[in-house]
Structures are given as structure tokens and as C-alpha cells.
Structure 1
Amino acid sequence: MKENILEVNNLHVSFKTRNGAITAVRGVNFSVKKGNTIAIVGESGSGKSVTAKSIMRLLPKQNTIIPEGNIKYENRDLLSLPLKDMQKVRGSEISMVFQDPMTSLNPTMKIGKQIMEGLTKHQTLSKKQAKQRALEMLELVGIPNAKSRLEAYPHQFSGGMRQRVVIAMALACNPKVLIADEPTTALDVTIQAQILDLMKDLQEKMDTAIVLITHDLGVVANMADTVAVMYAGEIVEYGTLDEIFYETQHPYTLGLLRSMPNVNASKSEPLIPIPGSPPDLATLGTGCPFAARCPYTMAVCHDHHPETTQLSDSHSVSCWLQDSRTPSDHAPEIVGSAAR
């Protein structure tokens, strides 16, 4: 059995504000094995990108507080690594594809030079060797006329091509872990499918572990081995792809899946949106953060935070409905209906 290459344990992240500290990530736990993909899903503001940037240590130092937790990469705690050592890890061993390809590239530098920059920093390559490697990466990600495109600027590429360039940059040093933060946002459906197929092909060739940050459950179904569902800064359900899609146990996960279009459904079948809005993290109470939007809420949900219930070796959920102390007549059957 493969060992975990990356483990996030009890991670808490807060930000200093004029009104005091606001906790954006609360007790997050997950792991990923070499060559596998974990998808972290949830609405905007659920803490997905903060978690990803914590792994890379890219959050602003001046107002970020990480009071608890550790992030272990090959048994090294990234949070306690000296900055010099962390800079060696970034790009060479752990890379990140950022959310917006339009702003991820330097508009004043040629594409080839931007890819070569990481190669010359992390690997003992000459300028000629780095250029050859950059050319190989552009060809690998399917950029046509790659040799001439090395000399082009970002504005000369379409959005889909820029995203391919960003992926080429991230994979140039053969990282062991790739963090992809909404890698297909703002791309049309055809280009989105090409980018996902590209990532899967590269994963197979390089045996790279992928941490996929997304709110698109269609992308999750196409890519993930394991799924972590985040809400209000915490993971509310965690399991294999089949467990999350077909053995759903949290009302929020159910809501996400029911609001996803079903190509096999009749035209008259409406989508079922989740009512309300995500909570204000600055005013969270002591109860379940999803209580105000949950159709199955009970009195205990408003006053006490649910404990994590381990349903199997791979499946866990934080919900009072699945707690062993909840009377059976108060726990509606929600399992299995989510994938419709």
C-alpha cells in the first residue's frame, strides 16, 4: 500500500483584523498518497484556498496566525521548516496551479523565460538545457508550435493556452505534489475537459499526487480518488469518491450534489439549491455552522458543535444526524440519494 506523501493535521488558520482574529480554517485533517488525487470542495469562502496556500506557506506573514496543527510532507513539517528550506520545496517538490491563469503569468516576461526561471533555480541546468526543458514542457501540455511560442508573451495566448502554460510551469521540475486551485475556472467546457485530461495524463506519467481545489462536482467525479467537503473552514464530510457521491451522510454534501445539473434528468426536473448563504466567520456560534441552512436541523445543532463520527476506515462526517446518541426517529435517511 502506498504511504501518504502529504498530511494536514488539525490545521487552524486565523487572520488578524481590526475587529480581532477571524478563524478561516478550523481543525482541518486530510492526506494524499503518491499518484492519488484528493478533491477539496465547497462554496466560495469555505477555506479551500487558504488551506492550499497554507501548504505552500504563501499566506501574508503580517496578519496570519497558525496556532495549531502541522503539515507533513515526507515526514517533514512544512510549517516549521526554515524559509530557505521551504523555498527549495516550493516549485521543485510541491507546485501550485493558481486560480486565475490570466493573472498568474508575468505580462512583461516571455513564456519561455518564465518556465526557465524555476528550472534554473531548483535544478543544476544550464540556460540551454533549461530552454530545452521548457520546450519539452510546452510540447507535453499540447502547445502548438512550441518552439516559437517560447518567445511569446502571455497576452498572445488564449485563456486555455495560458492555463496550459501555468501547468507546464508547475510541472517543469517534476514535483511530487501538485496543488491545483480551481484550475478550470473561467474556461469554456471544451477547454476545461482538455485541461483535466491533461492533468490526468501527466499524473500517470509522473506519478504526481494532486490536491484539487474546486466547487465543481463534475470535475471532482472526473478526477478524485478521495473527497473532502469543506464548510465554514472545516471538513464536514470526508471519504472516497464513491462514499461521498453514493453514500452521502452530511446534509451539506447532499445539498451540493442535488444542486448539480443531471444530464439524465427530464427537462422539467428543477435543481434544488441550498437556501441561505454561508455564515459570517466573525460571528460563528457554538453550534453546527450549517444549522441555519439545514433542512434536518435539531435543537442540539444550534447549541453544540457536532463531533466527528467515523463511519468506516475511509469515511467520516461531522453531523448530529449521524451521532450514535441521536434517537433514530430524529435522524432522517439521507444516504444514497445525493447522486440522483
Structure 2
Amino acid sequence: MTDTILSVENLDVSFQSYNGLIKAVRGVTFDLKKGETLAIVGESGSGKSVTAKSIMQLLPKKTTVINNGSIVYEGNDLLTYSKKEMEKIRGSEISMVFQDPMTSLNPTMKIGKQVMEGILKHKKISKKEAFVRAKELLELVGIPNAEERMKSYPHEFSGGMRQRVIIAMALASDPSVLIADEPTTALDVTIQAQILDLMKNIQKKTGTSILIITHDLGVVVNMAKRVAVMYAGQIVETGTLEEIFYDSKHPYTWGLMQSMPKLHQDRSVPLIPIAGSPPDVSKLHDGCPFAARCPYVMKVCHNHMPDQSTISGTHSVSCWLQDERAPHVEKPELGGNNVDKSKTS
């Protein structure tokens, strides 16, 4: 019996455009285990959200091309599901929390009715029972005076409270998998911490598996046990939180870490940005997509994609620096080295 609940294998996702085929996701592979939190991290445009929306089948049908791969949930490939079959899974067994709660809430409908709507759609219960369940969910996500607030409209809630409502709606049908796509980006630091703590507490109570999509390494430290680093539509490094923060192997991961503030760092010391910009995925050539920005680039990097190297049973990386013929490179001092190590254990 496997403890893997969701498995994405060699997924390729492209979009048809006037400029040709845009290869947004290329050969992405990862597993999500029951009850764990996996973070997919990378810059904007790296393919994180496209991967998440592929799982939910929320990409536009007319322009989306999935010509390779599988998305297996509980032993079944979701890519073979019909629209009707997917509607039974979406929201019921796999739910998604989006970045901006106002785009997910109906401004003309009271909060209680919106939460009840999802419950009634996926569960065969009465409106009275759905009301009670909606109240319980709002209490679970920390909405004070939940029964009274059910009569309120979205504009009467703060940004943090609206995001709590979205989480309550996502939990309405007790999903096995919760996908959180940049769930705290629009919130201030204090509210962000509250939302992350809320998601961790809910996971402890319900055993829900969480796939969190983020560009924020602070979110990764607070939420995840395993991390997949994405760049230009590919996963370039995967490992446990400790392996990624303390023993990362890919120069792109090093760049992300160097751009992260160190604990106790003098504020006058500037962060080190990654030089250049992510590549145009409609014009990718052979070779490593990070080659143009990599300070350790070699000739082979421009001409051939590196194979995946296995560092440990949980840690893998795609980089020519792992080849035995590559020169030795001294890893730079990383911001992650000063992250509280207790958070990664």
C-alpha cells in the first residue's frame, strides 16, 4: 500500500499562441504523500501555477496542449477524466485556494451562502445541516462570531478574513488534497503568518495533503517538509526542507537562497539578486535553461540538458556541476544557512 496520494509524471503543458507553441511545463515529475506538505518554489513564470491548474484541469481547453505525462490521484489518471468526472473530483476531493480572495468570492452573495453552496454541491445533506457545517468551518478557520458573520458580504471582511473564508470553502467537502497557489502573497506579514499557522493546524486536525505554490522562501520554511524548485517549466532540484536549505546543489537554488535575508543581517547589507531574467519559454533551445544566468556556466550547459543526479533517496538535482568531469565549485554562503534549523527538522 502506497502512501502517495497524488503523482505527477513527465508532465508537458504547452499553450497555442500567435507566436507558436509556448512550452510552459516540461517533464515535471513529483509525488505528494498523504498528510504531507510539498512546496513548489520558483520565480514568476516558472510554471508553478500552470502545474497546479493542470491538476485541477482549470486551464483553457481551446489553447492548452498536454501532449505527455500523467496526473494520478488515488490510482486514477485525471488526464483521462471527462469534464463531468472531473467536476466530481474538483472541490470534493481536491480543492484549491487562490492568491486573491476577492476574485474567488461573489461580491453580491453573503458569506454563509457561499460556503453553504460548496457543501450542498458535494454532500447530500439538508440546508439546515449545511448551515451548521458552514458555521463550523468558519469557526475552524478562526472567524469570530461565525454565525453572525455568515450574514455579511465579502467587502465587509478584511483581506486576511476573506482568505480564511476561501480556505473554509476549500475545506467544505473534506478534500484529501488542498492546493494553495500563493495563498498569502496579497497579505501583510502578520496576517500571512496567521494564515500559514491556520493551514498547519487544519492539516493536523484533518490529515489533508497540501501542495503549496510560492515564490516566498519564508513560506516554504514555515509550511513544507519537502521542496521542489522550478525554473523555466522544469523542476531543477527536489529535496527535503533541510536538504534544500542547507545542502542545495543547483546554482538557481543558490541564487534564490542568496536573495533571502539572513537572520541578524545588517539591513545596510544588500541582498544578492539573480542576474538577468527568466528565459522566454517560447524560444527555448537545447541545453540548460538557466545557462544564460548561471555564474558557473560551462560550454556543455548551452548545448545539452543535464541528466537528473540522485544525491540521496530524497534529494535529486539536474545540473552539469554534478558530473564527475565538472570542475569543483565552492558553494556560496546562503541565506538559508542562517534559518532557524529547528524549522527544518
Q: Which residue of 2 aligns with 1:18?
A: 18
CA contact (8 A) 1:246 1:336 kept: no
Say what the alpha-carbon RMSD is for the aligned residues: 1.3
Q: Does 1:331 align with 2:328?
A: yes
State the partner residue of 2:246.
246
Q: Higher mean Cα deviation, 246-255 or 75-84?
A: 75-84
Rounded Cα–Cα distance in structure 1 between residues aligned with 2:137 and 2:336:
37
Matched, 1:68 2:68: yes
Q: Secondary structure at the match of 2:309?
A: strand
Secondary structure at the counterpart of residue 283 of structure 1: coil
Distance 1:335 1:272, change over 3 A: closer
Partner of 1:262: 262
User: Secondary structure of the residue that 2:138 maps to in structure 1?
Assistant: helix
Tell me the secondary structure at the aligned position of residue 330 of structure 2: coil
Q: Report the residue type matching 1:303 in the other structure.
A: N
| 1:310-329 aligned within 5 A | 310-324=310-324, 326-327=325-326
Quick one: which amino acid aligns to residue 241 of structure 1? L
Alignment of 1:46 onto 2:46: yes
For residue 331 of structure 1, report the CA deviation from its aligned partner: 3.2
Per the alignment, residue 273 of structure 1 pairs with 273
- Answer yes or no: is the 8 Å Cα contact 1:248–1:336 preserved in 2: no
The one-letter code matched in structure 2 to 1:282 is S
Q: Tell me the secondary structure at the aligned position of residue 339 of structure 1.
A: helix
Q: 1:335 to 1:226 in 2, by over 3 A?
A: farther
The gaps in structure 2 that reach 5 residues or longer are: 338-345
| Equivalence map 1:133-282=2 (5 Å) | 133-282=133-282
How far off its partner does 1:29 sit? 0.4
Kindly indicate whether the alpha-carbon contact (under 8 Å) linking 2:5 and 2:33 is maintained by their aligned counterparts in 1. Answer: yes
Q: Within 1, Cα distance between the matches of 2:22 and 2:268?
A: 43
Deviation at 1:211, TM superposition (A): 0.2
Indicate the SS of the match to 1:282.
Answer: coil
Report how far residue 102 of structure 1 moved: 2.1
Which residue of the partner structure matches residue 305 of structure 1? Answer: 305
Q: Distance in 1 between matches of 2:76 and 2:332?
A: 38
TM-score by length of 1: 0.97
SS at match of 2:221: helix
Does the 8 Å CA contact 1:12/1:68 hold for their aligned counterparts? yes
Measured against aligned partners, the alpha-carbon deviations of 1:102-139 in whole angstroms (never above 9, x if no partner) come to: 21111111111111111111111111111110011011
Structure 2-normalised TM-score?
0.95
Q: Does structure 2 retain, via aligned residues, the 8 Å contact 1:2–1:34?
A: no
Deviation sequence 1:55-81 (CA, Å, 0-9, x none): 000000000000000000000101101
Q: Output one character per residue of 1:265-318: Cα deviation in whole Å (capped at 9) or x when no partner.
A: 233432111011100011111111001111100111111111111111111101
> 1:249, 1:335 within 8 Å by CA — same for their partners in 2?
no
Unaligned runs of 5+ in 1: none
Residue aligning to 2:341: none
Report what 2:107 is aligned to. 107
Map of 2:340 onto structure 1: none
The residue identity in structure 2 corresponding to 1:333 is E
- The answer as to whether partners of 2:262 and 2:335 remain within 8 angstroms in 1 is no
Compute the displacement of 1:263 (Å): 2.5
Q: Distance in 1 between matches of 2:333 and 2:182?
A: 27
Q: Deviation at 1:336?
A: 7.6
Q: Which range is displaced more, 304-313 or 31-40?
A: 304-313
Letter in structure 1 aligned against 2:107: P
